[in-house]
């Protein structure tokens, strides 16, 4: 099943459960606007290359379209549509007044020089300039995009309209109107959720093992906070390799990140307290890593990692989805049958967009908050949303994903009906 079909299957399940108004359901099955375009870029060797770009504006009933832009060789329209739909539900679950959108460029940014990356980024903004803006659509970082790229985007847009518009993009560097706490926000938000979940499931952090697949911005910050709280991180994977602490003592994410930064690999890096190759690590493939016994499995990389093929072999008690769409619909059913608690992406990773919302607010007010203020407000949002979703789960006797969709859909419906739709 492809990514968009997956998202529609989840939507259908929740729509049936809450008896969603059929007219609203009909509208929510399609994006409002799809932009697909070519971006010609002059490469360093003087030749021109053309890259494919996308921006999908899924739904803006609750506010301007909002969502990241990913740079990935496998990015395509189907994936971007799915991710744009997820952003719509995500913003509604955490009740920020924004709609959903997503963008992408089919490119491996690791193969570009910094100059080429900048020209590509500025070309992307020129292609969509009439469709974005603080009141229309506000891009942000996603897979392989970062504050530097967001800074170029904000600058290009500002130059095009002739005055500074920091609120056109979130996830910017602090010097260009970024928010304190935005970089760590997705991991931080997920950590607040984990603490609530631990209370519900009566987990003792010191006796709880964690496996993290994906060690980028999201996976790292989450791992670091969980480690500080005493959780045992027993295995970590990035796109190039993985590491498993077979003694289950727990690994310090800082050491792993240090090795990744200095050697470009995490594989084989870990020895308690130091960073070196040693006899206590075990090399495992990403596939094996997902199937290792643990309490909490955290997919924090790309979509479609847990599928019909491996869902039956997952031994975790909880799957915390920090990636978008890491579990397919068929896999989800299998995990539910096995009574594995799946905390869905639209709740678990919503901390990123919540702090993007704060960043946008700060830009509009031209007044900036401290990191403590940001994190306090983020904690309030995540804790409240968790309990609202949990309540729906109990009410409908369903899984957390369907419960999260139920919360999101009723909020989107309320606004659409107030506008006379449905
Ligand atoms: N790319 C992130 C996500 O998938 C953040 C989006 C945003 O901040 O707008 O939630």
Kindly give the distance from the C-alpha atom of residue 83 to the centroid of ligand 1, in angstroms, as a whole number.
10
Find out whether the beta carbon of 214 lies less than 6 Å from any atom of ligand 1: no
Instruction: Give the mutation target among 186, 300, 381 for probing the ligand 1 site: most ligand atoms within 8 A of CB.
Output: 186
Q: Are residues 100 and 221 in the same domain?
A: no
Binding site for substrate, by residue number, is: 66, 90, 356
Domain CATH code at residue 263: 3.40.50.720
State which of 167, 202, 235 marks the end of a domain: 167
State which of 325, 343, 361 marks the end of a domain: 343
Q: Are residues 109 and 214 in the same domain?
A: no
Q: Are residues 102 and 199 in the same domain?
A: no
Q: For residue 71, count CB atoms less than 10 angstroms from its CB and return exposed for 0-12, middle for 13-18, buried for 19 or more.
A: buried
Kindly give the distance from the C-alpha atom of residue 351 to the centroid of ligand 1, in angstroms, as a whole number.
9
Q: Are residues 307 and 193 in the same domain?
A: yes
Kindly give the distance from the C-alpha atom of residue 323 to the centroid of ligand 1, in angstroms, as a whole number.
10
Any domain includes 268: yes
Residue nearest to atom 8 of ligand 1 (CA): 353
Find out whether the beta carbon of 72 lies less than 6 Å from any atom of ligand 1: no
Return the pLDDT at 269. Answer: 58
Return the pLDDT at 239. Answer: 83
Find out whether the beta carbon of 345 lies less than 6 Å from any atom of ligand 1: no
Q: Which two tokens stand for residue 130?
A: 């009439």
Q: Are residues 108 and 220 in the same domain?
A: no
Residue 32's nearest CA partner among 62, 75, 1, 69 is: 62
> Assign residue 21 a region: left if phi > 0, alpha if psi is -120 to 50, beta otherwise?
beta
State which of 134, 167, 200 marks the end of a domain: 167
Return the pLDDT at 276. Answer: 47
Q: Are residues 163 and 88 in the same domain?
A: yes
Ligand 1 atom with least separation from CA of 66: 9
Residue 102 known to be catalytic: yes
Find out whether the beta carbon of 321 lies less than 6 Å from any atom of ligand 1: no
Structural domain containing residue 142: 31-167
Number of domains within the chain: 2
Return the pLDDT at 245. Answer: 83
Kindly give the distance from the C-alpha atom of residue 142 to the centroid of ligand 1, in angstroms, as a whole number.
6
Q: Which of 12, 29, 47, 102 is catalytic?
A: 102
Any domain includes 368: no
Partners of 173 in the beta sheet? Answer: none
**Parts of the chain with a pLDDT under 70:** 267-283
pTM, full prediction: 0.95
Domain CATH code at residue 44: 3.40.50.10860
Partners of 101 in the beta sheet? Answer: 57
Any domain includes 23: no
Return the pLDDT at 263. Answer: 73
Any domain includes 20: no
Return the pLDDT at 273. Answer: 45
Within its chain, how far is the Cα of 285 from the centroid? 23
Q: Are residues 80 and 153 in the same domain?
A: yes
Any domain includes 40: yes
Q: Are residues 270 and 156 in the same domain?
A: no
Q: Are residues 212 and 313 in the same domain?
A: yes
Any domain includes 282: yes
User: What does the alpha-carbon distance between residue 278 and residue 56 come to, in Å, rounded to a whole number?
Assistant: 47
Instruction: Give the mutation target among 68, 324, 385 for probing the ligand 1 site: most ligand atoms within 8 A of CB.
Output: 68
Helix (H) or strand (E) holding 10, with range, is helix 3-18
Find out whether the beta carbon of 217 lies less than 6 Å from any atom of ligand 1: no
Tokens 């996830």 belong to: 171
Q: Which two tokens stand for residue 259?
A: 């090795």
Q: CB under 8 Å to 349, separation ≥6 — which residues?
A: 90, 186, 189, 190, 218, 321, 322, 323, 324
Any domain includes 327: yes
Any domain includes 335: yes
Find out whether the beta carbon of 104 lies less than 6 Å from any atom of ligand 1: no
One DSSP character per residue, 175-189 reads GGTPPTTTTTHHHHH
Q: Are residues 146 and 35 in the same domain?
A: yes
Kindly give the distance from the C-alpha atom of residue 183 to the centroid of ligand 1, in angstroms, as a whole number.
11
């Amino acid at each position: 099943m492809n990514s968009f079909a997956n998202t529609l299957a989840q939507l259908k399940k929740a729509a049936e459960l809450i008896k969603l108004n059929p007219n609203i359901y009909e509208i929510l099955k399609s994006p409002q606007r799809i932009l697909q375009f070519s971006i010609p870029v002059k490469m360093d060797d003087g030749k021109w290359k053309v890259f494919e770009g996308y921006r999908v504006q899924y739904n803006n009933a609750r506010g301007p379209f909002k969502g990241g832009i990913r740079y990935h060789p496998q990015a395509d329209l189907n994936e971007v549509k799915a991710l744009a739909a997820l952003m719509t539900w995500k913003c509604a679950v955490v009740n920020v007044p924004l709609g959903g959108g997503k963008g992408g460029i089919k490119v491996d940014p690791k193969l570009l020089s910094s100059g080429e990356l900048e020209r590509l980024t500025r070309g992307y903004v020129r292609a969509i300039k009439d469709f974005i803006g603080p009141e229309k659509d506000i891009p942000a970082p996603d897979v392989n995009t970062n504050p530097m790229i967001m800074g170029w985007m904000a600058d290009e847009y500002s130059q095009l309209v002739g005055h500074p518009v920091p609120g056109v993009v979130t996830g910017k560097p602090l010097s260009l109107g970024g928010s304190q706490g935005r970089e760590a926000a997705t991991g931080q938000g997920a950590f607040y959720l984990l603490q609530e979940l631990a209370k519900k499931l009566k987990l003792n952090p010191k006796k709880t093992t964690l496996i993290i697949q994906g060690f980028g911005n999201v996976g790292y910050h989450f791992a670091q906070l969980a480690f500080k709280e005493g959780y045992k991180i027993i295995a970590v994977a990035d796109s190039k390799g993985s590491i498993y602490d077979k003694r289950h003592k727990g690994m310090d994410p800082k050491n792993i990140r240090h090795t990744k930064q200095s050697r470009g690999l995490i594989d084989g890096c870990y020895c308690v307290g130091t960073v070196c190759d040693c006899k206590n690590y075990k090399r495992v493939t990403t596939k094996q890593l997902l199937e290792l016994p643990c309490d909490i499995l955290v997919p924090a990389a790309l979509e479609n990692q847990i599928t019909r093929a491996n869902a039956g072999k997952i031994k975790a008690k909880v799957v915390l989805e920090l990636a978008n769409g890491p579990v397919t619909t068929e896999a989800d059913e299998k995990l539910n049958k096995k009574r594995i608690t799946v905390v869905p992406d639209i709740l678990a990773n919503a901390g990123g967009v919540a702090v993007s919302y704060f960043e946008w607010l700060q830009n509009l007010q031209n007044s900036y908050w401290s990191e403590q203020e940001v994190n306090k407000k983020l904690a309030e949002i995540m804790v409240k949303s968790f309990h609202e979703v949990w309540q729906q789960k109990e009410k409908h006797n369903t899984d957390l994903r369907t419960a999260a969709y139920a919360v999101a859909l009723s909020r989107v419906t309320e606004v659409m009906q107030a506008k006379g739709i449905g």
